[in-house]
Every structure is written in structure tokens, then in C-alpha cells.
Chains A and B, each alone.
Chain A
Amino acid sequence: DIVMTQSPDSLAVSLGERATINCKSSQSILHTSNNKNWLAWYQQKPGQSPKLLISWASTRESGVPDRFSGSGSGTDFTLTISSLQAEDVAVYYCHQHYSTPQTFGQGTKLEIK
């Protein structure tokens, strides 16, 4: 199984500041079939279901604010929020869909400092 490890487990950032969440996979999730990283990022706000933010490691979904960006390749990935807003308080998960069983990172809880 591919293990997804996020860091940190929790993060407190001031409004308007940058937030960075890391995700590391135990093996490469760069697929030769399409030369894409089979990694997605989800946001889960309190009491809500997860929402897809970023697919293919760096493709922002329609309607997601451009302060959210994804980067990385192979085994190391990053979700960056360039200027934290109050509505970004949530738990963020990375997810590999490269192989079965699909696996998620343990989540990173993002709060306002």
C-alpha cells in the first residue's frame, strides 16, 4: 500500500499570511500513462463533506479561489494558500488514486493564529 504522510498535523497562520501543507507518498505516484501525478487535495470544513480543491497535483478545480495552489511531483507535494482567509479554516487531505487501495494522508488542521 502507498502511505501518504502529511506535515504538519496542524497549522496556525495569521490572516493574510501564507499557509503551506506538505504531503509525501511512500512511492512515486507519477503515472507513465499520462505523465501526471495521481494526487488530489481536498478541503473539509467542520460539519461538511470533503470538497475537491486540486487534481493532478496542481490543477485547481473550477470555482476554487486562485490563492490555492498545488505543486510537486513524484513523491513530494505541497498545497499552498497564498493569503489565508477566515473561510479557509478546515482540514486538508491529500489522496493518491495511483493504485489500489487508494489512500489518504492523515489530514492537516488549519486554524487562524
Chain B
Amino acid sequence: EVQLVESGGGLVQPGGSLRLSCAASGFTFSGTYMHWVRQAPGKGLEWVGRIRNNANSDTTDYAASVRGRFIISRDDSKNSLYLQMNSLETEDTAMYYCARENYFLENWGQGTLVTVSS
């Protein structure tokens, strides 16, 4: 069974940093592209970015709203995905989901809540 478990969310001040993690199991993580998607309170889904697999050099793509501030990485030895969030803004307040790609987003975690507030 595929499982994705996010962690690392919390309250952070504007301008601060936070690192989210996503622990994966039940599939061959190293061969899989992985995504982050976020959802502001009461709002819709927003794609944050994607990391390809090692065969594709772990290259990344980002939404314009986070490019230059967020970094997606992975550690295949730990079956883990990460989202390093820097220069956080109040508009980054959201539930952050990791998702497994099978062209589409086949599996989603339960999410971790990030609140950016002073």
C-alpha cells in the first residue's frame, strides 16, 4: 500500500524558513517523480513543484509564486521528499501535500499545515 506522510509544518514568522518532509513507502520511491501541492485555507489546489527521479538528474520545476524561495529535494536512501521554504510570506499559509506522480497525481499524503504569521 502506498503511504505518504508529511511532517514539519508549523507556525513561522514572515521572512522565516521551514523544511517539510514527506516519508514514502509502498512503492519504488527512487524511480518516481514527486510533487508538492498546497491549499490555502478555504481555497483550491495550487501546484508548487516537482522533482524528477535520479535517472533524470533529480531536476526540478516550480510554480512562479515560489521559484527562487522554495527548493524541492529528495533522499532516495531514506525514501524521503523535502520542501525547503525560505523567505516565507503570509500568502504561503496553506496545507502542503506531497503527491506521487504516475503522469497524474496518483497518491496524496494527508498534508502538513504551514502558518506564516507574526
| Secondary structure dominating the interface of B | strand
Please, how many angstroms separate the alpha-carbon atoms of A103 and B63 in the complex?
9
B9 within 8 A of A: no
Listed in ascending order, the chain B residues whose CB lies under 8 Å from chain A are 35, 37, 44-47, 50, 61-64, 97, 101, 103-111
Check if A52 is an interface residue, CB within 8 A of chain B.
yes
Q: List 27 A-B contacts (CB under 8 A).
A: A40-B104, A42-B105, A49-B110, A49-B111, A50-B37, A50-B97, A50-B105, A50-B108, A52-B104, A52-B105, A52-B106, A55-B103, A55-B104, A56-B104, A93-B44, A93-B45, A97-B104, A97-B105, A100-B50, A101-B47, A101-B62, A102-B47, A103-B47, A104-B46, A104-B47, A105-B44, A107-B44
Bound together, the chains give a CA A38 to CA B105 distance in angstroms of 11
B63 to chain A, nearest CB (A): 5
In angstroms, Cα B108 to Cα A107, docked, is: 17
Chain A residues with Cβ below 8 Å from B103 are 38, 55, 97
